[in-house]
Structure 1
Amino acid sequence: MASSVAFSHDFAFDPAYGYDAPDALLGIPAPPAPDGFDAFWQDRHARARAVDTRPVLGPVEEERDGVRIHGVTYTSVGGVRLALPAEGPVRHGFVVGHGYGGRQEPGRDLPAPLPGAAVILPCVRGMGERGRVDGIPDLAAEHVLHGIGSCDTYVIGDCAADLWCAASALTALVPELAGAGLPGGPRLGYLGESFGGGLGALALPWDDRFGAAQLTVPTFGNHPLRLTLPCAGSGEAVRAHHREHPEVVKVLGYFDAATAATRLTLPTLVAAALFDPSVPPPGQFAVHNALAGEHELQVLTAGHFAYRGMVAEAAELDANRTRFFGERLTAAG
C-alpha cells in the first residue's frame, strides 16, 4: 500500500491533513445516520423512479473508440429536462457521474470499462451548459449551497435524482437493458469521480438496478470532520456557510456520503488519495471505510493535483476497473 508523499505546493494548509500513512486514514468512521435517514432517501428514490423520463436520442455528435456518441435529453424530478451525451447499445450499461464544473465532453469517461457497453453521461442540474437550469448557479461554490437550508430543497438531493433518472433513461433507450434490476436481468455499473463519487455513494444504496460501482476521490464524506478541514474545493464554501449558519449540520447529516455508504452493499471499487487540496482525504477514506458490502481500495498518491506518476496510476486504475466490473456485472442479452 502506498505511503504519503510530501509535495511542494502553495496552499495555506496541508492537503494531507496530517495523515502520513493510509493506515491512519483507514480508521476514520462514518457519522451516525440522523433520524429518518433511510426513509428520506427511499422516498426520494421512489419519486424519481416514478418519473416518465421520455428520453429523446439526438444525432451523432462524435464517433471514436468504437462508439457513437449521441446527444440525449430526458426529464428528471421536478420536470427539469436535461441534456447529455450517450453511446449506443449492447451488453452492459453504465451511468457515469461527473465532477464539479460539469461535463462539456466525455473525455476520460470513454471508452467504457467493458466492451459492448451503452453509457449515459448525465449532466446534473445546474452544472455546465447541458445541465443549465434557471435559478441554479453553475459555480461550484454557489451550487453546493443552493437550497441548503432544508433537506427538501437542497440541490444535492435533486442531483442524486438526476442519476436515478439517467438510469431510467438509459434502460428506456436500450432494449437490452430494460430488465435491469429484475431477477436474472443485467445490472448497471456506476462510475463517479469527486462530486460524482459522492453523489454515487448517496444514490446507489437505494437502487437495485446497479450491480457494481467505482467511486474515485469521492466528496461529501463525514461532514462533521470536513467542516474542520480547510480545502480549495466546494467544501470551503460549505465551511464558510456553516460559520454563519451552524444549524446547517442538521441538513448535511442527510447528505453525508460516508453515512450513506453504510447502506451500500453492492461491490464497490474506491480510489482514494493521500493528498488532495480539493476533497480532503479523510472524507474520501471515510466513504471507503463505511461500505457495507464487498469493496476494494486503490490508494492514489494525490487527487485534484498534478504529480509525477499520475499517468501510470490512472492506467492502473483503468485496468483495475475493467477487471472489477468484468467480474461482477451480468451481461444483457
Structure 2
Amino acid sequence: MALFDLPLDRLERYRSDSPEPPDFDPFWASSLAQARTHDVLVDVVPVATGLALVDTWDVTFAGFDGHPVRAWYTRPAGVTGDLPTVVEYLGYGRGRGLPQERLTWPVAGCAHLLMDTRGQGSQYGSGGDTPDPVGSDPATPGFVTRGILDPATYYYRRVLTDAVRAVDAARALPAAVATTPPSTAGTHRPDGPAPDASTRGAGPSGGTVPPVAVVGNSQGGGIALAVAGLASDLAAVMVSAPFLCDIPRALAITDADPYGEIVRYLAVHRGADEQVLRTLSYVDGVHHARRATAPALFATGLRDTICPPSGVFAAHNVYGGDAEIAVYPYNHHEGGEAHHTARQLTWLAARLPHP
C-alpha cells in the first residue's frame, strides 16, 4: 500500500473536527457506576500450563451489567511480593486463546491480565471464552455495527465497560491469588468470592495494590486508549494502531474492515448515518484521549489502511498527559512488530519500576 493519508508534517499538527456529545461524561459515569454495583471478582482458579517460570490463574470478573468476563492472570513463578500489572486488550476477532501464548509481560517481571473480548474469538487465534449475552438490531457480520443505532445498546459500550472493570479486577487480584497458590492448579478456591477492587486492597505482601498499565494493538489499542480516559490512577498507557479514533475521517478515507462494516451497514440502512455517527462519538478515542493523564506511548504505520494514521495522530495530538508516538513510515497495520515491543519494554521499565 502506498502512502494514502496526510503527509507526516500535517499529521503532526492534525486535529479532528469530530463533535463530542454533550453528555459524554455522564454517559460513561453512569455506565461504570452501574457495573461497579457488582463485586468485581467472580472466580479465580489456578491452572496448570506446563510452564515452570510463570504461574497462571483463570479469572472471571464482572463486566458490563455484571456479565461474566474471562481473563488470564499470569505472574512470574514463585513471586510473592507486589508486582506492577499490565492489563492487555485484544485485536478485533481474537479471543484470549491459551495462557501459553502471551508471555512478554510476565517474563519481563510484571503481573499480566489478558482480557477476553465478549463475543469474539472465532475469527483467528486460539479462541475465546466470553459470550456476549446481549442481542442487537440487524447488523453486518462482525461486531462494530451491533446495536449501533443507540449509544445505550452499542456493543462497544459493553466492551469498554468490561475493560475498565478489568483494571478494577487487576487491582483486586494480588490479594485474591494469595489465597489460591498455583499448587492447587485445576481446583476452585475454597474460600468463596474473591475480594472486590472498589477500594485498593492489600497485595500478596500485604502492601498497597501496585501500579497498573494498559496496553493494546488495533482494537486492543482503541480499548486501552478509552480506558486511559475512563479509569483513574493508571501508571502508563501503550496504544498501537488504535481502532475507533477519529471515526468520521476513517469512514471517509478507507474501505478496509472493520470500518468497512460500518460503510456496508450504511449502504443498506440509508439515512441512518446521523444516528450511527452519534453513537460512534461516544466511543471515539479522540474524546477519551482528552481525558487521559497517564504517560502514553502511541504507535502507527503510515501505510495502515485498517486504522489510518490520521486517527492515531488525532488522538495523540489532544492526549491529556505526556505522550509520544513511534512512527513506522513503511509499515501497514503490523507497525513495528517485535521492534516496537522492544521499545515498549524499555519505555515501560522507566515508568513502571519493579520493587
Pick the TM interval, shorter chain. 0.7 to 0.9
Trace 1:36-47 onto structure 2 (pairs within 5 A): 36-47=23-34
Paired residue total: 310
Match of 2:12, as an amino acid? L
Trace 1:207-226 onto structure 2 (pairs within 5 A): 207-226=231-250
Aligned to 2:348: 325
Q: Deviations over 1:210-242 (max 9, x none)?
A: 111100100111112112122322111112223
Aligned to 1:130: 129
The answer as to whether partners of 1:141 and 1:234 remain within 8 angstroms in 2 is no
Q: Deviations over 1:268-300 (max 9, x none)?
A: 000111011322222122222221210111112
Trace 1:189-208 onto structure 2 (pairs within 5 A): 189-208=213-232
Aligned to 1:160: 160
Counterparts of 1:209 and 1:65 in 2: how far apart (Å)? Answer: 33
Aligned to 1:151: 151
The answer as to 2:98 corresponding to 1:95 is no
Q: Percent identity?
A: 26
Q: State the SS of the aligned residue for 1:133.
A: coil
Counterparts of 2:280 and 2:294 in 1: how far apart (Å)? Answer: 24
For residue 331 of structure 1, report the CA deviation from its aligned partner. 5.0
Aligned to 1:188: 212
For residue 32 of structure 1, report the CA deviation from its aligned partner. 3.8
Match of 1:26, as an amino acid? E
Q: State the SS of the aligned residue for 2:72.
A: strand
Q: State the SS of the aligned residue for 2:278.
A: helix
Tell me the TM-score normalized by structure 2: 0.78
Match of 1:281, as an amino acid? P
Name which one, 1 or 2, has greater alpha-carbon Rg: 2
Structure 1, unmatched stretches of 5+, are: 1-6, 8-13
Match of 2:227, as an amino acid? A
Counterparts of 2:324 and 2:100 in 1: how far apart (Å)? Answer: 25
Q: In 2 relative to 1, CA 328–272 (structure 1 residues): closer, same or farther, beyond 3 Å?
A: same
- CA root-mean-square deviation: 2.9
Q: In 2 relative to 1, CA 65–294 (structure 1 residues): closer, same or farther, beyond 3 Å?
A: farther
The answer as to whether partners of 1:217 and 1:303 remain within 8 angstroms in 2 is no
Aligned to 2:306: 278
Counterparts of 1:24 and 1:113 in 2: how far apart (Å)? Answer: 38
Match of 1:238, as an amino acid? I
The answer as to whether partners of 1:100 and 1:140 remain within 8 angstroms in 2 is no
Structure 2, unmatched stretches of 5+, are: 122-127, 179-196, 202-207
Counterparts of 2:303 and 2:50 in 1: how far apart (Å)? Answer: 36
Tell me the TM-score normalized by structure 1: 0.83
Aligned to 1:35: 22
The answer as to whether partners of 2:5 and 2:302 remain within 8 angstroms in 1 is no
